[in-house]
Amino acid sequence: MANADNASTRDHSPHDHAQCIDDALDAAAEICARRGARLTPLRRRVLELVWAGHEAVKAYDLLAKLDAGAKPPTVYRALDFLVAHGLVHKLESLNAYVGCPRPQTAHEGQFLICDTCGLVDEIDAPELNSQLVERAAIAGFAPQRQTVEVHGRCAACGGSRS
Amino acid sequence: MANADNASTRDHSPHDHAQCIDDALDAAAEICARRGARLTPLRRRVLELVWAGHEAVKAYDLLAKLDAGAKPPTVYRALDFLVAHGLVHKLESLNAYVGCPRPQTAHEGQFLICDTCGLVDEIDAPELNSQLVERAAIAGFAPQRQTVEVHGRCAACGGSRS
DNA sequence: CTCGAAACGCTATATCATAACATTTAATTG
DNA sequence: CAATTAAATGTTATGATATAGCGTTTCGAG
């Protein structure tokens, strides 16, 4: 029973993905404007490419889709900017990137990554977050950044049901 | 107030680290024997090198410490074995490796990583784990592997106190 | 002792990422 | 609006991480 209203950002159900891209670009423009950050054509283009789907994207794949002749620093710099502004998250366990569906509010991403179809679902689990912080505090540890990535099978690929 | 009895595996307090290494090697030997897995001299040596401290270790640093002339596949294969048997964990956010202090029981690691001194503290937070699983279930997602890595400052480096 | 599987050595190459410096573009300000 | 300067981008080179593929050695099973 797929349910578009559950807490997931997105599943692989058919949807108007052009809308996802538009939303992401619009949100990015607004956020950058508000902060005085420059969403240059290059950065905008990279963001658009990252949002080609709801899957993780590799830096060199982006590179290949930019005008021929683009060099690695070009794409890495754009990604650095996008990550710094929370428009894109880096998935450490994949060395890949994914668009952030809720860039308006600063947050660490927590991800469900389907190893079968590649879908990346960013979940919003504040209770998880606070448990992690609390748990760290017990050890006298001051958290600054967290990586939470769960690999497995999404619902569409036969996760809990089929 | 460092306290050796808190839930952390280890802090940077002075301790008999030779004992840590011995324990790890003994545990590894027993586990491998029980499973019919071969803890060869090379694998044992790599495990020992990983346990040089409670910090994350890079594959190429290990390589440099092996007999001159060792090639990358040598160390990566040893690490693959150690990781597969839960004797070592890979830290995805660092592309580095750390010895597992509790290899007897299969588990996913959850780590507090001090960006100041490099200390890696593997915590055991089953409640965190089950929350993650539960949260995944809501999305119909079947978890198979998780990466939980928190970066920040450990107590000794001025995390919660000094 | 022989055989077959596992481990290891080795070469080459793929993949991921950044340092350093030159050039261009854009915002600032006089 | 021209001069100045800071930010962004282009470019070359290289560093860092990781694996494919194949030949050789080691080791346990029969």
Q: pLDDT tens, A9-45?
A: 566 788 999 999 999 999 999 999 999 999 999 999 9
* A161 pLDDT higher than 60: no
The answer, for B154 touching chain A at a CB cutoff of 8 Å, is yes
The answer, for A4 touching chain B at a CB cutoff of 8 Å, is no
pLDDT digits (tens, 9 = 90+) for B53-81: 999 999 999 999 998 899 999 999 999 99
CB contact under 8 A, B160 and A141: yes
* B9 pLDDT higher than 60: no
**Structure-model confidence comparison of residues B90 and A162, the more confident one:** B90
Distance CA(A64)–CA(A107), nearest Å, equals 30
pLDDT at B68: 86
Determine what percent of chain B falls in helix, strand and coil, rounding each to the nearest 5. Answer: 40, 20, 40
Both tokens assigned to A2:
């797929």
* A1 pLDDT higher than 70: no
What are the start-end ranges of the H helices in A56-146? 59-65, 72-84, 126-138
pLDDT digits (tens, 9 = 90+) for A103-152: 999 998 999 999 999 999 999 999 999 999 999 999 999 999 999 999 99
Q: Protein A73 CA to nucleic acid C24 C1', in Å?
A: 16
pLDDT digits (tens, 9 = 90+) for B131-162: 999 999 999 999 999 999 999 999 999 876 54
CA angle B106, A143, A75 (to 5 degrees): 90
CB contact under 8 A, A149 and B7: no
Say how many CA atoms lie within 13 Å of A142 toward its Cβ.
11
- Position of tokens 């540890």? A141
Picking from A122, A141, A145, A157 by the largest number of B CB atoms within 10 A of its own CB, the best residue to mutate is A141
CA B126 to the chain's CA centroid: 17
Q: What is the pTM of this model?
A: 0.92
Give the rounded percent of residues in chain B with a pLDDT score beyond 90. Answer: 85
Report whether A156 contacts B141 (CB < 8 A).
Answer: no
For residue A137, the chain B residues in CB contact (below 8 A) are: 160
pLDDT at A67: 87
CB contact under 8 A, A142 and B161: no
Say how many CA atoms lie within 13 Å of A118 toward its Cβ.
10
Q: Protein B65 CA to nucleic acid C4 C1', in Å?
A: 33
* Mean of per-residue pLDDT scores for chain A: 92
Q: Which of B7, B145, B158 lies at the smallest CB-CB distance from A139?
A: B7
Query: In the 8-state DSSP scheme, what is residue A5?
Result: T
Distance CA(B125)–CA(A70), nearest Å, equals 45
* A3 pLDDT higher than 50: no
Protein residues with Cβ atoms closer than 7 angstroms to any atom of nucleic acid strand D? A 37-38, 40-43, 69-74, 77-78, 81; B 38, 58-60, 71-73, 76, 80, 95-96
pLDDT digits (tens, 9 = 90+) for A58-74: 999 999 999 889 999 99
* B6 pLDDT higher than 50: no
For residue B135, the chain A residues in CB contact (below 8 A) are: 123, 125, 128
pLDDT at B67: 87
The answer, for A160 touching chain B at a CB cutoff of 8 Å, is yes
Mean pLDDT of B110-135: 95
pLDDT at B144: 95
The answer, for B148 touching chain A at a CB cutoff of 8 Å, is yes
